[in-house]
Amino acid sequence: MLIQIAWRNVWRNKTRSMVIVVAVALGLWGGIFSDAFMQGMTEQQIYSSIHTETGHIQLSQKGFLVNHDMQLNIRSADSIKAVISNIPGVSAVASVTQLSSMASTSSGSAGIMINGIDPQQQSKVSDINRQLVTGDYFKSDRANLIVIGQQLADKLHVKLHSRIVLTLQTTAGDIVYGAFKIAGIFHTHDSDFDKQMVFVRKNDLHALTGFPQDAASLVTVLLQNTDDTKKITATIQHKFPGLQVQGWMQLSPMLQVLSGTITQMTIIFVAIILIALAFGIVNTMLMAVLDRTHEIGMLLSIGMRPSKVFTMIMLETIFLSVTGAALGIAISIGTVSWFGHTGINLSFIAEGINALGYSSIVYPSLGIDFYLALSVMVVVIALIAGLFPARHAIRLKPAEALRGN
């Protein structure tokens, strides 16, 4: 019956209880939604980084990623790809020949990174082909086609079908030039990527530079499940001990740091909100106890143990807080799901956030584990908040309380 009494007591003063219920609900909704927003941004950035830039796992010769020395290439790349393709959990494998170069037009020049690819293979590990704003992704069989980023096109003042000249070094150390026609222009949400990365056919690049036909600078692996990255990285490393095998966390350490920091920031943010709410809960419960001094005196008089009075007040505090939390979480699930589906368009500040590598459309996202952790936090906060009013209640002396003192 104690639970029944506590629950009904919560609703004795509906206005007072609803004020704190709504405060808890709105406070949590604010915390949860902003967290979902940040998590969504980070997850999108990680997804985009994996599916546009790095893949889940990359293989390279040790030292290649430091100075992009073209001599540090992977021989027999095709046989390595074949082995990796057979590992369970691997979705696709592609090889890339990556060389640094200079792109020039009559209007200007820019330092770039050329990616020599097999377009069909590459489209399985990277979604660049789906981010074209104009042109196509190597549909024509013509030689010396190039796909570049919008930012680079703007910088060089070129457009679709314009020609740009790439200055490269051959494997023998000679300088060569190649004129490439722009077949497509892509736009990702990472402006640095758009400025630096260009894509050409591997065969064209190898022919120009003398790069060995069976070699590649990188082998990129896309997995079916991002959570398997560590496990499959270890498996590949075991099969190819002479190569450097790195997961996306090592390739983009900032993303991993960001991901971890966002979680910690969120917990701190929500904890601050909950602590602020705790003061409101304490105030409400203390008012409730003071209003019922006479009644609590009666309960103690007729033989209700102080421990039971204490439990009753604690239960009331928990019910009050959990009701607000349930409402807040329900609203949050609704809004996070809605905006997770439709996205939040931040195109009015797209330039700024693209420069930071974030997409201008954010899809808020939050895991069930966060909601569970939050529920536990609310109960803990309620328990702490209930201590003071409950302690006040059991310190009442029956005779004095009955007099209303």
**Token pair 């904890």 is at which residue?**
271
Q: Is 391 in the site for another protein (CB under 8 A)?
A: no
Of 130 and 403, the one with the shorter C-beta distance to another protein is 403
Q: How far is the CB of 25 from another protein (least distance, A)?
A: 23
Q: Is 300 in the site for another protein (CB under 8 A)?
A: yes
Q: Is 306 in the site for another protein (CB under 8 A)?
A: yes
Site mask, another protein, residues 308-347, x = CB under 8 A? x---------------------------------------
Q: How far is the CB of 301 from another protein (least distance, A)?
A: 5
Among 102, 249, 304, 333, binds another protein (CB under 8 A): 304
Q: How far is the CB of 399 from another protein (least distance, A)?
A: 4
Q: Is 398 in the site for another protein (CB under 8 A)?
A: yes
Stretch that binds another protein, among 1-9, 14-22, 145-153, 231-239 (CB under 8 A): 1-9
Among 172, 302, 368, 376, binds another protein (CB under 8 A): 302
**Contacts for 56 with CB less than 8 Å, ≥ 6 apart:** 50, 221, 222, 223, 226, 229, 232, 247, 248
Of 212 and 306, the one with the shorter C-beta distance to another protein is 306
Among 88, 173, 241, 303, binds another protein (CB under 8 A): 303
Looking at this protein, which amino acid is placed at residue 54?
Answer: T
Stretch that binds another protein, among 93-101, 148-156, 295-303, 326-334 (CB under 8 A): 295-303
Of 172 and 302, the one with the shorter C-beta distance to another protein is 302
Of 124 and 308, the one with the shorter C-beta distance to another protein is 308
Q: Is 89 in the site for another protein (CB under 8 A)?
A: no
Distances (CA, A) of 369 to 75, 274, 365: 44, 18, 12
Give, as ranges, the residues between 6 and 45 that touch another protein (CB under 8 A). 8-9, 12
Q: How far is the CB of 355 from another protein (least distance, A)?
A: 59
In angstroms, the CA 124 to CA 129 distance is 10
Among 294, 322, 326, 343, binds another protein (CB under 8 A): 294
Q: Is 5 in the site for another protein (CB under 8 A)?
A: yes
Among 165, 298, 346, 350, binds another protein (CB under 8 A): 298
Distances (CA, A) of 111 to 103, 182, 189, 244, 363: 6, 17, 20, 26, 33
Q: How far is the CB of 386 from another protein (least distance, A)?
A: 18
Q: How far is the CB of 320 from another protein (least distance, A)?
A: 14
Give, as ranges, the residues between 268 and 287 that touch another protein (CB under 8 A). none
Q: Is 395 in the site for another protein (CB under 8 A)?
A: no
Among 62, 139, 239, 305, binds another protein (CB under 8 A): 305
Of 168 and 396, the one with the shorter C-beta distance to another protein is 396
Of 168 and 315, the one with the shorter C-beta distance to another protein is 315
Q: How far is the CB of 308 from another protein (least distance, A)?
A: 8
**Per-residue burial over 43-58, b = 16 or more CB atoms within 10 Å of its CB, e = otherwise:** bbbbebbbbbbbbbbb
> Which residues are at the interface with another protein (CB under 8 A)?
1, 4-5, 8-9, 12, 294-295, 298-306, 308, 397-399, 402
